[in-house]
Structure 1
Amino acid sequence: MMGLLPLLAETSTQAIAIKPLVISVVFGLLTSTVLVILVIPPLYTLLFEWKNKNVMEASN
């Protein structure tokens, strides 16, 4: 992702053609990184706790 940042700052006429692609790739990578680091682990934790709670209630 960091390797694409110079292309985001480029203003030459050649870079204009690929700038939309670079923007899509950078923000796609940024979004997926945030999801993997900040959203998925708490979601797994909540689901695991919910599953264990239901198993414990069913066994009683």
Structure 2
Amino acid sequence: MTTEETALSSEAELHAELKALFRRAHANGIDVEGGWECRNGTEHPDWDVIVTEVEKNGESE
């Protein structure tokens, strides 16, 4: 599988990309809950990513 980088220009686009990523992972049996360090070399900042499942409310998409 190859990955194409998509230029993101808004927080809404970032949210949509994350939602799509989490849905694909869940659909393929990957547990997306947990924490990961995202190391990016010297050119970009590093991030600590923490994902927790939340209780659904009546307004979930």
Q: TM-score, normalised by structure 2?
A: 0.33
Decide which structure has greater helix share.
1
Decide which structure has greater strand share.
2
Q: Of the two, which has the highest radius of gyration?
A: 1
- With a CA cutoff of 8 Å and minimum separation of 6, indicate the structure with the bigger relative contact order: 1
